[in-house]
Amino acid sequence: MLRTYTLTAYLRLWYAAIFSLQLRAAVKTCCTSTRHRKYNSAMFTLRRCTIFYLVIRKHLLTIAVFLALLVTAHLTVCYYIYSFSSIIPPLLQSILADSRTLTNSSPPCTSICNVSESVIAVDVDGNFTDRVARFNVKLYTIRRQLSREAIPPGKDISKTTCRSSAGDNRTASAELGTGSLQVTWSIKENYINDLSGNQDIFTIVLPWLKSRHNWSSMTDYSNVLYQRYYEWTADTMLCSWIETPRVIKMRYDSIYRRTCNRNINDTAHGQSLKPLYLNAKPLFPDQYWPNNGDSYPEHYYTTTPPYVFYMHIHRQAVVTELGDVITARTKLVLYACNNDITPTLPLRGKLSHIPCYDEVYVITQYWGNAVFHRMAEIVPRLVLCLQFLNAHPQIRILGPEVGGRLAELLEIIGLDKSRLITGVTRAKIVYQPRATGCGFANVQESQVLSQLYRDYIKRNFPAQPRNRLVLIRRSGGRKFTEQKQIEEVSERAARDYNLTYTVFIDNPTPSLNDTMMMFHSAVMIVAPVGAAETNMFFSQPGTYIVEGVCNLPHVNLCMQRLAHILGHHWHGVTSRGGCEGVVDVAAVSVENAVRGYLRLWKIERSFYSAE
């Protein structure tokens, strides 16, 4: 292909030269021919041809240079298109080839070292997936510039281990450990602004598009993947706790402004996502405790955040086991389940025997090996940069483990599990996507991950009807005290509504393939609160979920949040006691919620069938 472009360019240059010579000869012929015409007409033509000839002769060199530059530019563009097409996924190629629907207002960066600000906005129009793809293109551009500084051409990155002698106490970089560290913690509202001017950290942000006030997801295709969400509901006991200040330890009264809906029928109609779900952070007294824990700042409830997504890129850095990143002067701690804000290097700064890679992408967080945290907090950090990661398979992925279910999930979304590494790590370039709050799944990442899973299921498994009522049977802690009765009423309700009753057991746990197919075909999920509920990632939007919620002081609504942002229906039935050991809910309460949901489902199905 490149040879064809080169040949074409040479022919164009040859034709341009011939054209210039022919034009010059034509002018001379024109002027000479005037001798055979009448004097007045000849004089007029002579003056005109002479002027034209002199102009062409005067600027002949300029024209030749211009044509040569035009050919050179053409060759350069063709070369980069050819080179880029071999490593960039098809979606990015289509965006690069057709930019009519995307307008990037950010000025191009000719050199990372010379950008005036270290916070770079990808201002681009279009739908959500187009904007994310353009964000990935910007990451590619910045990586290419940083790689020229950090990674010598032709180096075998897969074998990189920066080791020194056994007794060497020097750190990964000449500057690391030589001065005091400043800790930047993301609980601060404008912490990204505090990173401006830091020469070791570059932050790439995807700004919120259009108005952030009076926002409705129902008509927004640029900032979120899903448009329609459903009111979540709960029984009287749980609602009364949410409506009463300071009763629940995790302060859901503050999070939901002491409001709760008891009417299960109100979940029937779609509605906009509230800005709260895009802004909220976990509330802990020793970490993030605004207004003495009684409420978030007012704009959390009324205004969307300034960014859809962002990524920090570090030069010459150390990554801790918790996923914090340390450069020469800064330790950047993103708010997650555990936060080490001490201004120190790991292993007392003796980093000479720590594995060192050229490029590392961070997804590890505290509790990352636990099922819920792996599903809802770890894997989602990959998906908005999936195109970028697929284009650069040499980038290692720093996770909480290198095998097990995490490796399986990576393979499903298209990443080679051999890229996984774990533990304290050094790298020349570190990519640190925004973290997931503890129990607070991120909206956009969760939605994209669920879509990826469901696309995988459709591509790889036989089509199955959506006709299951799935009941989760826990074998350890937090199992239903009335398990047998709840199974009986659930099976009877499934039979009455012509659904296939299916029990999901956790000992032994079904294969990942069987689990995915089971939950993808679910109309309803009935479960005591627990990590198995995160299989709702595989379920289609609009699935009905009835959850047995723990009693005080163990109320935890992380599954309610996840269900809501994935576009599912959720109803909570409260345990009468026994948590964390058991979930003691009455079988009749579960049956009422199940049948209430199934009546709504039947009406919904009839409505869409009529259309």
CATH code of the domain in which 504 resides: 3.40.50.360
Per-residue pLDDT reduced to its tens digit, 507-537: 999 999 999 999 999 999 999 999 999 999 9
- Tell me: the pLDDT tens digits for 51-65? 555 555 556 666 666
Given 86, 119, 154, which residue is the final one in a domain?
86
Residues whose CB is less than 8 angstroms from the CB of residue 300 and which lie 6 or more positions away in sequence, other chains included:
275, 276, 279, 280
Q: What are phi and psi of 133, to 5 degrees?
A: -65, -40
For residue 146, is pLDDT > 50? Answer: yes
pTM of the model: 0.81
Q: Is residue 11 part of a domain?
A: yes
Q: Is residue 241 part of a domain?
A: yes
Give the CA count within 13 Å in the CB-facing half-sphere of 166.
0
Q: Looking at residues 538-562, what average pLDDT do you find? A: 98
pLDDT at 235 exceeding the cut of 80: yes
Q: Is the pLDDT of residue 356 over 90?
A: yes
- Boundary (domain end) residue, out of 67, 86, 105: 86
Residue 504 lies in a domain: yes
pLDDT at 65: 66
How many domains is the chain built from?
A: 2
Examine residue 155 and state whether it is found in any structural domain, yes or no.
no
446 part of a folded domain:
no
Does residue 101 surpass a pLDDT of 80? no
Q: What is the pLDDT of residue 95?
A: 37
Q: Is 101 exposed, middle or buried (0-12, 13-18, 19+ CB in 10 A)?
A: exposed
Instruction: Please list the residues that pair with 184 across neighbouring strands.
Output: 332
- Distance between CA atoms of residues 555 and 529, nearest Å: 10
Q: What is the domain extent for residue 27? A: 2-86
Answer yes or no: is 381 within a domain. no
Answer whether residue 294 is part of any domain.
no
pLDDT, position 348: 77
Domain boundary among 68, 86, 104: 86
The answer on pLDDT for 209 being more than 50 is: yes
For residue 582, the surrounding DSSP H or E stretch is strand 582-583
DSSP run (H or E) holding 97 = helix 90-97
Contact between residue 550 and residue 575 where contact means Cβ atoms under 8 Å apart: yes
In-domain check, residue 100: no
Burial label for 178, CB within 10 Å (0-12, 13-18, 19+), is exposed
C-alpha span between 118 and 96 (Å, rounded): 25
Q: In this predicted model, which residue has the larger pLDDT, 363 or 149?
A: 363
User: What per-residue confidence (pLDDT) applies to 223?
Assistant: 98
Instruction: Compute φ and ψ for 158, nearest 5 degrees.
Output: -65, -20
Per DSSP, what are the bridge partners of residue 526? 471, 546
